[in-house]
Amino acid sequence: MPPPPHRAAAADALPAEVTMPVQFDLLGPLTATRDGRVVTLGSTKQQLLLAALLLRPGEIVSTEELAAMLWGDHPPQSAKANIRTYVRGLRQALAPDPTERWIRTIAGGYLMRVEPGVRDIDRFDDAVARGRGALAAGDPARAKVEFAAALRLWRGVALAGLPLPGVLAGPVADLDERRLLAEEDYAAARIALDETAAVIPRLRALLDRHPLRQRAWAQLMTSRYRTGDVAGALAAFRQARQALVEHTGMDPGPGLIRLHDAILHHRLGPAEPAGHRSRDTPPAAEPAGLPRQLPLARPGFVGRDAELATLGEILAGPPGGPAGVAIATLSGMAGVGKTTLALHWAHQAADRFPDGQLYVNLRGYADADALAPADALVTLLEALGVPVARIPSSIDARAGLYRSLLANRRTLIVLDNARDADQVRPLLPGAGRGAVVVTSRDQLTGLAAAEGAHPLTLDVLTESESMDLLRSRLGAERVAAEPSATVEMINLTGRLPLGLSIVAARVAAKPRYPLESVAAQLRPPAARLGVLADGDIRRVFSWSYQALSPDAAHLLRLLGMHPGPELTGAAAAALLGRPPARTDPLLQELTRLHLLTEHLPDRYALHDLLRSYAAELAGASEHADERHAASLRMYDHYLHSAHPAAMLLQPTWTQVAPVSALPDNVHVPPPDRAAAMAWFHAEHPVLLRVLRQAADGGFEQYACQLAWSLAAYLAPRGLFQHQLAAQQAALAAAERTGDLDAQALASRMLARALMRLGDQQAAEHHLQRALGLYEQLGDLDSLALSLRHYTELCTECGRLDEALKHATEALRVAQQTGSWYAQARALNTKGYLHALTEDYPQALTDCGQALAQQERMNDRVGQAATLDSLGFTYHQLGEYGRAADCYERSVSRFRESGNRFHEALTLLHLGETRQALADLAAAEDAWQRAARIYDDLGDHPAADGIRRRMTALSPPDDH
């Protein structure tokens, strides 16, 4: 099969003579060897980038895809520069000769070309293919050797030890599935060689880890039976049934049940040679006429390589396997390209089905009424040559005749646009070597449960596939001329094939029309569907909407008011104003029809175009009072879930009393600190959007208080860009309402974010404003805190005398408040300033008093900060042992509190002290830990300086 167009084009851009002395192993921990020596691959993010390129060899992986993989939905501004740094590091590690380029920079991304056999994945696939070929040819001995060689390449879980993002988790899961299939093929070869006793322990071990593998259970039952252990074979069936019921709620499939019956009645014969066909198998009947009913496939089809391969594997069946009908269901949201993919694959595979191809549009989601199964059977029987006069009147008789005609044929059947499993069941053959492809917006889980159908859910296109689609419709030159506008059009249509096709058709009709103009028209969410109206995208969505129950339709409309990018069942219940138990069935209904995607347990995503459609429906169908009430419930849900979580993370912060909670609304306050951290980790991208929407939509008080709650998570984790955005929105909201308390709080927190981001001038402006407001309000606690922030700002700017003055004033104000907590913090700040100005005795006195007070109050974060100050003081005095002890204790307390930013900063200081003690190994360890934290926090500029320090610890290796 030729490579897909985008891969072929990319590969053709490279020189043919590429020598590859490096081997890459992904079937276990990621390793690379060059000339037999292990290559150091660098940081975790650098390794993840290499893994992404290795999993898509010969394909351009865009910079945007890599950034999303490494940093999620909110990459740092330096993402592209960081990726270039990682690529440069990999190039230097893999190829000392700079002319030997492994990773190529291509417009918009990077490409890695590897020769056959360079990856262990390729060697594994080649050995498996040879083994399956040997099985099909009736040579199980050779198959056994090949499968054994393939399985020896696995050294554990693929890419073990790397924190895999979602974009890599799928391919790794696919590798694991390929390994399991190879294990089962290996067992088949050994069973064919009558090595049943030897294969039993390996099958038992496989099933202990993967108890839902029905083929492996069948092999275990067969092996036990053929070793004379009939009781063991029957016990294995009972174990299989128990595992399937417990994990899936389903009984074993028909094949396993038939095998159990054969064992129970001693009808299981001896093993047949691989590839053997029984003489009792009836020959295929000659068809009355060969149907060729496939509609025209859409020209210019691009992408979907993985889905095409999966369809091929499902519908081809295992080599040499038993006769049976293979069923694949293609489901997905409206406009995702289910029919296009099914027909493209069907035309490619038509020659595999010599007895013809049948096609029926079941009209499950269309303007016309759905096609009844009885009427569909008439269409199918006519295509198979049955005269209308001979077609039975009852649906059961029609289905029986249909199955009889297909029993010995190898026919492909495409059942397009099915409404549900009941519409499909009468149209399935009962025997033969045929295949059925069903497309539907419904998940058709019933077909998987009862008929053994293989579900395949179709997602939107990838970035590169979307780019290929536009190139195929508009021409490569036009796309290349406006790359930014092209990427924006792709993103604004959510990579939905229908949306992209509509945009492409609109632009193609106007060759001189700038792409930037189309992108500008698509930007406002409320106008997006209007731009796509030429393709009737609203009508396509409406077919799914009309299939909903009234309650589910009401929920979908309200979901259009949620800002995204995802929500939980509890948030949906709050929007709807119902308990979660009454909301969950509606979410499942929306998910089943692919109007929602449950990409993680209890985390639902709504496609952006569907969100716009739902928002339009809400504006047209929901009363303004109901929309306001739903929004209020949503903001109340998030605020009164976030506020208690923030208090668990930062119990020493001065609490901001939230607006009263709605008594009957859904809230999810976490039970402990770990749960609070996990909740914020999952929800902070949502909270940022909710905050901005509340600020812009007349719910300013919720926006300001959400900003405070978010800061409890964002600031300690070093997410200062997000903190900046949150506090800017909060300040604007507070200014609109004239809330001076909220203005002061947002100004102070905004200044902290600006300080961390290096904009000291803007930070000083907001700090001075906060100080003035707190003086005006008489809020001494917050005034003391702001003065400490001002001290830090002056320190960073080198204005030490001014900093010491503010620190002394902060202590005076804290003493006025009577807060021991504030006094201890102010004493530490003042002590650190004395250390900077070389008044070490006073520094030790102030910090010692601060630490004693903080230990009495169990202020762990305060202790961490004061221990860091003491460590600095002792280091300056040359008492490196005492300094190291203080730093170690500081690091421990920062880690306990989740304050990773300051943990990294203290590790940097610890490394300096260890270096002064000539303990270079400990210094390097501290700096490596700091660098890893900075990488996790978004590649802070300090990380590069740390790595330069580590490089300077030892001279370069001359060998």
pLDDT digits (tens, 9 = 90+) for 226-262: 888 899 999 999 999 888 877 766 678 777 888 898 8
Rg (CA), the chain: 33
pLDDT digits (tens, 9 = 90+) for 422-460: 899 999 987 667 899 999 988 888 888 888 889 999 999
Indicate if the pLDDT at residue 516 is higher than 60: yes
Burial of 278: CB neighbours in 10 Å, binned 0-12, 13-18, 19+: exposed
Higher pLDDT, 892 or 167: 892
Strand order in the sheet with 109-112: 61-62, 109-112, 103-106
Q: Please give the helix or strand (H or E) that residue 216 lies within, else none.
A: helix 214-226
* Residue for token pair 């306990």: 896
**CB of 852 closer than 8 Å to CB of 826:** no
Indicate if the pLDDT at residue 955 is higher than 80: no
What pLDDT, on a 0 to 100 scale, did the predictor assign at position 658? 92
The phi, psi pair for 440, rounded to 5°, reads -165, 155
CA of 195: how far to CAs of 203, 272, 322, 641, in Å?
12, 13, 20, 60
Indicate if the pLDDT at residue 546 is higher than 80: yes
Which stretch of 129-138, 468-477, 694-703 has the lowest confidence by average pLDDT?
129-138
Burial of 377: CB neighbours in 10 Å, binned 0-12, 13-18, 19+: buried
Q: What is the DSSP letter of 927?
A: H
What pLDDT, on a 0 to 100 scale, did the predictor assign at position 938? 64
One-letter amino acid at 505 equals A
Structure tokens at 856: 């009495």
What pLDDT, on a 0 to 100 scale, did the predictor assign at position 7? 35
Query: Residues 6 or more apart from 395 whose CB is under 8 A from it?
Result: 373, 374, 377, 426
* Residue for token pair 């009234």: 550
Return d(Cα 216, Cα 184) in angstroms, integer: 6
Return d(Cα 789, Cα 368) in angstroms, integer: 67
CA of 675: how far to CAs of 226, 367, 418, 635, 705, in Å?
52, 48, 42, 21, 21
pLDDT category at 415 given cuts 50, 70, 90 is: very high
CB atoms within 10 A of CB 365: 21
Q: What is the DSSP letter of 61?
A: E
User: For every residue of 63-87, which 3-state class applies, written as one string?
Assistant: HHHHHHHHHCCCCCCCHHHHHHHHH
Indicate if the pLDDT at residue 396 is higher than 90: no
What pLDDT, on a 0 to 100 scale, did the predictor assign at position 518? 85
What pLDDT, on a 0 to 100 scale, did the predictor assign at position 8? 34
Q: What is the DSSP letter of 336?
A: S
Higher pLDDT, 221 or 168: 221
pLDDT category at 677 given cuts 50, 70, 90 is: very high
* Residue for token pair 């050995």: 127
Q: Which of 750, 755, 690 is nearest to 723 (CA)?
A: 750
Give the residues across from 34 on adjacent strands.
Answer: 22, 37
Indicate if the pLDDT at residue 400 is higher than 70: yes
> What pTM was estimated for this model as a whole?
0.62
Indicate if the pLDDT at residue 691 is higher than 90: yes
- In the chain, how long is the greatest CA-to-CA distance? 109
pLDDT category at 700 given cuts 50, 70, 90 is: very high
Which stretch of 233-242, 634-643, 744-753, 942-951 has the lowest confidence by average pLDDT?
942-951
Q: What is the DSSP letter of 432?
A: S
Return d(Cα 524, Cα 519) in angstroms, integer: 10
Q: Which of 583, 682, 701 is nearest to 632 (CA)?
A: 701
**CB of 715 closer than 8 Å to CB of 695:** no
pLDDT digits (tens, 9 = 90+) for 556-605: 999 999 998 999 999 999 999 999 999 999 999 999 888 998 888 899 99
Which stretch of 104-108, 542-546, 755-759 has the lowest confidence by average pLDDT?
104-108
CB atoms within 10 A of CB 187: 26
Bond preceding residue 565 cis, omega within 30 of 0 = yes
CB atoms within 10 A of CB 96: 9
